Amino acid sequence: MKKECVTMLLAGGVGKRLGLLTKNLAKPAVPFGGKYRIIDFTLSNCLNSRMFPVGVLTQYSPLKLHQHIGVGKPWDLDRMHDGLTILSPFTETHGGNWYEGTADAITKNINYIDNYDPEYVLVISGDHIYHMDYNQMLSHHKKSGADVTISVLEVPWKETSRFGILNTTDDLRIYEFEEKPIHAKSNLASMGVYIFNWKVLKEYLLEDASLENSDHDFGENILPAMLANNRRMYAYRFKGYWKDVGTIESYWEAHMDLFDQDLAQLLRNKEWPVYSHNSLLPPQLIEDGAIVRESLINNGCVIKGTVEQSVLFEGVTVGKGTRVSKSIIHPGAKIGENVELERVIVQENVTIPAGTTIVVGMDKEPVVLSNENINQFKQLFAGKKIKLA
């Protein structure tokens, strides 16, 4: 079956800087926004842009991720011939075959792509929170006659040192990459969204695969090689919210962004819906005496206490006399009575015992609570309030 463009979604990231959140979970599978997992934003972009087939490349701790994605039903990507396929590393006749880098992951699936005999390949990752119409970018790519188009975001000049920066001519042709430059010449940061002409990309992938000391990585190897060969590489300006939730702090921030009236549209934009598995729990019950303000709450929550500036995933209970503030509570967590939580992230199914107080100051990194460390906290600070300020 011939398709104009095949999408390859890199979902193998380890997400080291997310600490406990990615202990047994691939980064794209980390819960987000009271209902979603991070990868839902990218998969919904694929559906809303009508960009399929989609090959999803997984590697690290993929169990939950595979369960979540399944055959792509929530995103209508369960299609007969051009839907979603999970591409994990697999055994061949002689031993294993792990992906050794982002480019290597594509190289090992050249057959999958060639099945569709495409003109273009869209490469994206499942790590970011944003809405984007890839189809528009593809139209732009076709018009410009580029070999590669890289989507870029204008970032504040003072933050350029945190990003991969693209230096371009006025017509957005790229002549230089700078990884986290101290003195940036441009504020156009790469979003990790690429469209390649497949013929060109394939050539570079095969070349790169034969190099022994290559990391087989797009940013490190493939794109620089193309630039060195003077390939036509263009930047494509993206406007809108885009966030790499790569650290605990940015993960927490992205949630607080959801209380901003404008950014609330990230979840409730009817023109660009974000899809996920639906909760099977009954509506939330707000009991007599509860106070709920500036918060996002999902099905099955039972609230007796106070919830402020917090995001509660499904099935969370909040006991009487308890205050949950500036926090993110993952599915099924049970917060006992007379608890005080501020700026914490409570993991799935964790029970916070009655009387616990954990208040984290704005200058400290939010604390991730698991069943293990909540016990340590309890032992360490038995009877005392924990303030990390």
Partner 1 sequence: MKTMMGLINLGQEHDYLNELTYFRTGASVPFAGRYRLIDFTLSNMTRSNIYEVAIFAGNKYRSLMDHLGTGADWDLDKRHGGLFILPPDWNDPTDISKGDLRYFHNNFDYFERGKSEYVLISGSQFITSTVYDDMFQFHLDRDADVTLLTTSYPDPLPEHRSCIKVKMDEKSWVTCLCNEQENQPVFSGVYLLSKQLLLELVKECIAHHKENLFKDGIMANLERLKIQAYQYDGYSSVVNSIESYYRHNMALLEASSYQELFFSGNNVLTKVNNQPPTNYHDTAKVSKSLIATGCEIDGEVTNSILFHNVKVAQGATVKNSIIMQHCQIEEGVHLENVILDKNVTVTKNQALKGTKEQPFVVAKRRTI
Q: Which of residues 9-38 bind its own copies (CB under 8 A)?
A: 14
| Structure-token match 């193309």, residue found | 226
Q: State in angstroms the smallest separation of the CB of 285 from partner 1.
A: 5
- Hey, how many other C-beta atoms are within 10 angstroms of the C-beta on 52? 22
120 backbone dihedrals φ, ψ, rounded to 5°:
-130, 155
Q: How many residues bind partner 1 (CB under 8 A)?
A: 46
Any known ligand binding at 180?
A: yes
Q: Cα-flanking dihedrals φ and ψ of residue 88, to 5°?
A: -95, 160
Answer with the entry of partner 1, its own copies, none that 96 interacts with (C-beta below 5 to 8 A by kind): its own copies
Our finding on whether 370 is near its own copies (CB under 8 A) is no
190 is in an annotated binding site: yes
Both tokens assigned to 32: 């987000």
DSSP code of 173?
B
* Residue 327 binding partner 1, by CB under 8 A: no
Cis peptide before 74 (omega within 30 of 0): no
102 makes contact with partner 1 (CB under 8 A): no
Tell me, residue by residue from 34 to 63, as one string, x for binding to partner 1 by CB under 8 A and - for no binding: xx-----------x--x-------------
Query: Exactly one of 42, 48, 49, 59 binds its own copies (CB under 8 A); which one?
Result: 59
**Piece in contact with partner 1 (CB under 8 A), picked from 188-196, 218-226, 239-247, 278-286:** 278-286
Q: 33 is written with which tokens? A: 């926004």
- Residue 279 binds its own copies (CB under 8 A): no
Q: Is 274 in the site for partner 1 (CB under 8 A)?
A: yes
* Among the listed residues 229, 147, 7, 199, the one whose alpha carbon sits nearest the alpha carbon of residue 221: 229
Q: Closest by alpha carbon to 279, among 293, 296, 300?
A: 300
Give the pairing of strands 31-32 and 328-329. Answer: unpaired
- Residue from 79, 162, 180, 364 binding partner 1 (CB under 8 A): 79
3-state secondary structure of 120: strand
User: Residue 59 binds what, of partner 1, its own copies, none (CB under 5 to 8 Å, by partner type)?
Assistant: its own copies
Interaction between residue 295 and partner 1 (CB under 8 A):
yes
Answer whether 321's CB lies under 8 Å from 337's CB.
yes
Distance CA 11, CA 34 (A): 21
State whether residue 318 is helix, strand or coil: strand
State the minimum distance, in angstroms, from the CB of residue 281 to partner 1. Answer: 7
What residues line the site for partner 1 (CB under 8 A)?
33-35, 47, 50, 73-74, 76, 79-80, 135, 264, 267-268, 273-276, 278-300, 302, 307, 311-313
Q: Give the residue ranges of the annotated binding site.
A: 99, 164, 179-180, 190
